[in-house]
Structures are given as structure tokens and as C-alpha cells.
Structure 1
Amino acid sequence: MNENPLVQLTLAYPRPAERQLLADLLEIDPDLAGFTTLHAEGHGHGFARASVQEQVSGRAERALLLAVLPEDSARRLVEGLRMRLPSPEIAYWMSPIIEFGRIVE
């Protein structure tokens, strides 16, 4: 069994926080191999803090960051964000990666 398995770290955060969040992630781990960001909309825990426009539409504008990396690196990133950007507006989760690669090497 792999001692440090790969996980997908997903961060969900308000779109206006993206620039600072990405800068902080790259300061926490300058060797971060890669990630993808997406614009999203959602409804869930903390929706009471949504803007009036978001409450009318029933969805809050969010952004998602997806990164596949070793679990210990993902945990360091989350802990670093807790220290630098302590906010209930930033949610995260980690999912196990069964396999990862490129279609053609």
C-alpha cells in the first residue's frame, strides 16, 4: 500500500478570493505541480451569507480549484490556507485517486 497516496484536493471559494488564494497556495508550495480552476455556482452550507442577487437566483457564484497531489502535500496546503486565509467561505475536500496519468506519454 502506498504510504502517501494521491488525492484530488478540491477547494470551493468565493470568486473574488481567487487571486489571493492562488498566490497563497503558490507561496505555501512553490513546487505545486499543477491545478485547474473552474467557475461554478452552488447552494449549500453558509448560503445565508450569499448576496441578495445570489439569494434571488438560489445559487452563489463560486470558484473551484482541483489539484491531484500526494495526500501529505494536500494536507499541508489546507493547513497553510487555514493560517493565511481563515474563512468559513472556503470549503475543501479530498478524494482518493485510483489512477492518474496521460492518455499518451
Structure 2
Amino acid sequence: MNRHYDCVLTVALPARLEDDFIDLALAHPEWVDGFSLAHQEGFGSGASLVSPMERVRGRARRAVLTVLMESQHVELLLQELRTAFPTPEILWWTMPVTAFGRFA
């Protein structure tokens, strides 16, 4: 698909929700053409330590998805995600894309 990516949507969520979250994102190819996934650890007052391992280590296992998107689709995707995952444990933010391309 030839899209004009003008926005990056980043979503940080508990690792336990990763598979369901990915399935929902992939169910909307009209908005999401693909994304990157990284595994990270969350620290601080917003990090919900659920498992015994997380409580001992003092940090939460997180999945972070980075999605290049058309900004007109961001709110549509966010509404779907909010409906499916009504939890304050999921954080999101957007940033503008000023340039995008491929080397070949």
C-alpha cells in the first residue's frame, strides 16, 4: 500500500496484553499497515507490578508498539483499542513524522 505516513503512534502496554493487542491492531489493515514491537521494562509510579517476579524486581514487563500511520486514522484506532482494553495501564502518545522513506 502506498500511504502517506505523517504520524507515529506509540503504545506501551503490559506484556500480558501483547498478543490480544497485536491481533486487534492487525485486524484493521485500513489503519495499520504494520508496526514494530519492543519489549521493555517500566519503572515508576505508573508501573503496575502484577506478577511476583515484577514485585521482587521492582519493574513491570511492558510491550511497546510503534506504528507509522496517517494521522486521520489515529483516533479511530485508539477508540477501538480503548473499547477492547479499558485499563489505565496502557499509555499512548503521538509524534509527527517530518520525513519517511526507504533506502532502496
Shift in Å at residue 44 of structure 1?
Answer: 3.1
Is 1:94 the counterpart of 2:94 in the alignment? yes
Aligned length: 99
Map 1:1-105 → 2, pairs under 5 A: 6-27=6-27, 29-31=28-30, 32-47=32-47, 49-51=48-50, 52-104=52-104
Change (3 A) 1:44 1:73: farther
Q: What's the TM-score, normalizing by structure 2? A: 0.83
CA contact (8 A) 2:34 2:67 kept: yes
Q: Which runs of 5+ in 2 are unaligned?
A: none
Q: What's the TM-score, normalizing by structure 1? A: 0.82
Query: How well do the aligned residues superpose, as a CA RMSD in angstroms?
Result: 1.8
For residues 9-50 of structure 1, the C-alpha deviation after alignment (integer angstroms, 9 at most, x for no partner) is 0010111101111111223x2332110111111213422x31
Percent of aligned pairs with the same amino acid: 34
Over 3 Å off, 4+ runs: none
- Classify the secondary structure of the residue corresponding to 1:88: coil
If each structure's helix is expressed as a fraction of its own residues, which one has the higher value? Answer: 1
